[in-house]
Amino acid sequence: MFEIITKELKIKDDTYILKPLKGDSLPTLWGVLTKLGKEVDAEGKPKLDALDEDMMKKIYSLCLETFKKSYPSESPDKLEYFVSQNLWSIFPVVMELNTTKL
């Protein structure tokens, strides 16, 4: 009846099943996507200039929130360290997961 889309994220030999963000996080995600979409290079990749301190905090926050929703029984400290060390593997999956129906 209600389809909740999930995405697999593979890091090394482990597979993580990620759930989408809830509605209260979507304005932040939209802001990130809008800014990154405006500042792309010739190959369509975000320019590093777009990744200022505020943008990095938002990206980290979105990825951490995704893991907290996907793995609520894990220790918050463990999730924070994991997201920090794997941020650039996680973020593309978070974007794809939350924009699947656009």
On whether residue 2 sits in a domain, the answer given is no
Q: Which residues contact 64 (CB under 8 A, 6 or more apart)?
A: 79, 80, 83
Mind listing the pLDDT tens digit of every residue in the chain (102 residues)? 788 899 999 999 999 999 999 999 999 999 998 887 776 666 666 666 678 899 999 999 999 999 999 999 999 999 999 999 999 999 999 999 998 765
How much helix, strand and coil, in percent to the nearest 5, is found in the chain?
60, 10, 30
On whether residue 65 sits in a domain, the answer given is yes
On whether residue 73 sits in a domain, the answer given is yes
On whether residue 29 sits in a domain, the answer given is yes
Domain count of the chain?
1
Q: What's the predicted TM-score (pTM) here?
A: 0.86
How many other CB atoms are there within 10 angstroms of residue 95's CB atom?
17
On whether residue 92 sits in a domain, the answer given is yes
Give the domain range for residue 31: 7-98
| Dist CA 85 CA 79 (whole Å) | 10
On whether residue 1 sits in a domain, the answer given is no
On whether residue 36 sits in a domain, the answer given is yes
